[in-house]
Amino acid sequence: MKVESQWRRRRRRKRRKRRKRRRRRRRRRRRRRRRRRRRRRRRRRRRRRRRRRRRRRRKKGRRKRRKRKGRRKTR
């Protein structure tokens, strides 16, 4: 019978033996740490504030000063 022969074939398959690997345990040495007290330094960030200048009304007859167009300083 066909069914039986197939079943037999399946059974005949060799099983591979699995080798058990021994796991080595690593021992961890514990180091004692001395605790140091740390002083926290606070860093202050300086923010540059742009001041808005109020325009003053000038009396008529005075000449306007021309702004010089220079190179801007890069940060």
Candidates 54, 72, 56; CA nearest to 64 is 56
- The CB density around residue 10, as the number of other CB atoms within 10 Å, is 8
pLDDT digits (tens), the chain, 75 positions: 455 556 566 666 677 777 877 888 888 887 787 777 777 777 777 888 888 888 777 777 767 677 777 766 666
Among 52, 48, 57, CA closest to 75: 48
Determine the pLDDT at residue 13: 67
How far is residue 42's CA from residue 10's CA, in Å, rounded to a whole number?
A: 74
**Model pLDDT, residue 9:** 61
The pLDDT assigned to 4 comes to: 59
> What is residue 61's DSSP assignment?
T
pTM recorded for the entire structure: 0.13
